[in-house]
Structures are given as structure tokens and as C-alpha cells.
Structure 1
Amino acid sequence: MPKKVDHQARRTLIADALMRVAARQGLEAVSLRHVAAEAGVSSGMVQHYFRTKDEMMAFAMAVVRERNQARVTEAIVRLGEEPPPRLLLRTMFATILPLTEESRADGRVALAFLAYTAVRPEAAASLREDTRDLTDFVAGLLPGPRQQERAAGLLALMEGLGVYLLGGHYTAEQALAVLDAQLDVVFPAGVG
């Protein structure tokens, strides 16, 4: 009887290997051969699941996105029903920021993918859609006028803090203090 293969598990194994290579050595080190060696599989197996580096990168980014969504959902569920908007945003941003070893590894891959899409706009389609959706979600939680622009500013702050955290420029405490200061501006005392 033929062995049953879990194709999604194999794709995820390969994506995890790609993330480890990218986190340790940078995106330029990601190749089918290096990822196969890291995953402990043959290059042929990697090519069976991903014909190109772009396909492999897109799948790895989808895995990072799913992990972030799962972490954010879990953190928000712990807040209970209908948390105040400021607390919801602070929890969501603090969960996304690379403050833990696991989120730092995912953050390095996300940053590498962002840089990768800067020179390959066709690879950025899903990232642009995610950014639009997240901006709309955050805007819907903000009080006052110009919600879209202020939401974009908060997301840019979060991304910048992520880069500073990954580069060792800020400690977790410093990054969270900056985030809290900005949320205090957006949500003055008694609002949200």
C-alpha cells in the first residue's frame, strides 16, 4: 500500500527551513539547495513543491501571516468580549512586534520578504491586500477625523518599531513605551 504523504506538512517543513535560513543568514542565502539542506530533504523534493524561489517565498510569508494571525487572535480572545479600542490595538500591536524569540524569527522573515517585494512588485500583491485590510481594521477603531491616515501612521510606527527591535536599536520596553505614547495621542484620556 502506498505511503500517504501530507503535502501541506511537507510544504510547511520547507517553509520553516526557508525561514530559519533567512533569519540566520539573510534572504540572499535562500536558495532551493540551502533550504533543502536545512529541511533535511532533497532539492528535488523542494522543487516538487516550489518551482521557483518566488513561490517558496510567497508560501513562507503566508505561513508567517497565519502564525501572526493566530497569535493576535489568541491575545485578543484573552481580553474578553468587546475590549476598549485602545487596549485592542495595543494588544494587537504588541503581539505583532518582534518581542519574543518566535516573533523575532517571523519578523526577520517578514522584513526580508518586504525588502524582496521592493524589487519584485508582482510578489507584493498579497502583502498590499493585507496592508489595506489591516489599515481599514485599525481605522475603524480610531476616534475622530482622518482615520485612514492616522491608521496608516500607527501601522508605519509599528513597522518602524519592528525594524528597530530586530536591529537591536530598541529594547522591548523602549518600543512598548513609544507605542503607548503614540496610543495616548490617538486616544486622549477618557477616549477608548
Structure 2
Amino acid sequence: MPKVVDPVERRHAVVDALFRVVVRDGLQRASLRTVAAEAQLNIGSLRHYFATHEELKRFAMASMIERVGGRLRASVDEVGDLAALPPADLLELAVRLLGELLPIDESRRAEVTVFLDFAAASRTDPALRDLAERAAVGMRGFVRLVLERLESREALRPGVRIDVETERLASLVDGLGMNAVLHPELVSASDCLDTLRAHLGALACP
């Protein structure tokens, strides 16, 4: 009997292949043909799941957003409302949570690399623009949530403006991620975490 192929599983396998091509060669090299070769499929089989290059890119970017978003939600759920933690441990927990957005290991480095390519492409590709905006809004929502949890436990100094600090911290995370991918010899994983730690420490109660 011919092997039954799960179409959902196959589509995600193709997306994983696209991510590998992007990490290795850049999004501009991730054509249907190169992705099919990476996924060990012929081009006709790949077109059965993604009729066009644009459809594949959009599905891949949406998958990336959902993958990272799911991991962030799980991280927040794991720590709950922070009620059981002493204030001294809260900032380190916040560093760990925000580190989920940074290239601090190989899998996260690949995610940030892929996302940077997609975000850059969205500037001139209308098909990706709404997804890039969704990712930016979602990231800021996560950063704000972390800051609000710290504020609720009185771990932040009085007078901190959550709206302003959300944008400052989101911009810091974006910059660290970009520079750690583009200049790994200058910005290491430990540099990313130490910088986050220093920034949050400056917001903390004395």
C-alpha cells in the first residue's frame, strides 16, 4: 500500500526546510526549487502543498509567529502570577522570559535569523506586512506583560512609565537580537543576557 502522507505534517516539514535554507543562504535564495530540494521532494510534490512561493513564505512566517508565541505563552503559564517568588528573584526570572526572544542557543539563533530576514522582506512585500506587524505587536505585548508582572510585585521603582519602558525594552531586545545574529563575535548570548539584566536592574527598586 502507498504510504499515507499527513498533509499538515508535510507542510510543516516543508516550512522547516525553508527555515534551514534561510539560515544557511538567506530568504532571497529560498525558492520553491531550493526548498523542495532541502525537503527532499520534487517540485511537483511541493506545489501540491504550496502553489506559489508567496504562499509558502506567508505560511512559513505565520508558523514562525505561532511557534514563538506558543513558547512564550507556555513560559508565562509555567511561572504563573509570580506570587510565590521573592522580589529578589523576579528580575532574574524576567531576564529568563525575555531571553526567549534572543539568540541565546542554536534553535533561538535560527529563529531570530529567519525572523530578521522575513521582517526585512516585509518592508517591500505587502503579502508579509500584516504578519510582521502582528509579530511586532505580539512582542511588545509580551514585554509589557513581563513589566506589568514586575510592577504588580513592586519590583520596579516608583514612577516607572510602563508604556515608555515597554518600547525601550522592546527596542533593546530587537537591537540585541539583530546584533547577536549579524555580529556574533561582538555580541554573545551571555552579552545579551547581561545587557537585559543591567537594563532591568536600572528599573528595579533600590
Asked whether the two chains share a fold, i.e. TM above 0.5, the reply is: yes
Identity of aligned residues (%): 34
Larger mean CA deviation between 144-153 and 37-46 belongs to 144-153
Larger mean CA deviation between 39-48 and 134-143 belongs to 134-143
Q: What does residue 136 of structure 1 align with?
A: 141
Aligned equivalents of 1:139, 1:33: Cα separation in 2? 41
Q: What does residue 190 of structure 2 align with?
A: 173
Aligned equivalents of 1:153, 1:26: Cα separation in 2? 29
Residues 93 and 180 of structure 1: CA distance in aligned 2, closer, same or farther (over 3 Å): same
Aligned equivalents of 1:108, 1:8: Cα separation in 2? 24
Matched, 1:106 2:121: no
Map residues 78-117 of structure 1 onto 2, 5 A cutoff. Answer: 78-79=78-79, 81-83=80-82, 86-87=91-92, 89-117=94-122
Superposed CA deviations along residues 136-184 of structure 1, whole A, max 9, x for unmatched, are 3433534445422321221111111111211212111111111111111
- Describe the SS at the equivalent of 2:28: helix
Shift of 1:66: 3.0
What is the CA RMSD across the aligned residues, in angstroms? Answer: 2.3
- Describe the SS at the equivalent of 1:180: helix
Q: TM-score, normalised by structure 1?
A: 0.85
Give the unaligned 5+ runs of structure 1.
Answer: none
Map residues 113-192 of structure 1 onto 2, 5 A cutoff. Answer: 113-140=118-145, 141-142=147-148, 143=151, 144=159, 146-167=161-182, 168=184, 169-189=186-206
Q: Partner amino acid for 2:59?
A: F
Aligned equivalents of 1:133, 1:171: Cα separation in 2? 25
Aligned equivalents of 1:127, 1:185: Cα separation in 2? 30
Q: Which has the higher contact order (CA 8 A, sep 6+)?
A: 2
Aligned equivalents of 1:41, 1:9: Cα separation in 2? 14
Larger mean CA deviation between 82-91 and 144-153 belongs to 82-91
Q: Partner amino acid for 1:82?
A: D
Aligned equivalents of 1:113, 1:46: Cα separation in 2? 21
Q: Partner amino acid for 2:187?
A: Y
Superposed CA deviations along residues 96-150 of structure 1, whole A, max 9, x for unmatched, are 2111111111111111101110111441202212322332343353444542232
Aligned equivalents of 2:127, 2:202: Cα separation in 1? 36
Aligned equivalents of 2:113, 2:188: Cα separation in 1? 16
Q: What does residue 72 of structure 1 align with?
A: 72
Q: TM-score, normalised by structure 2?
A: 0.80
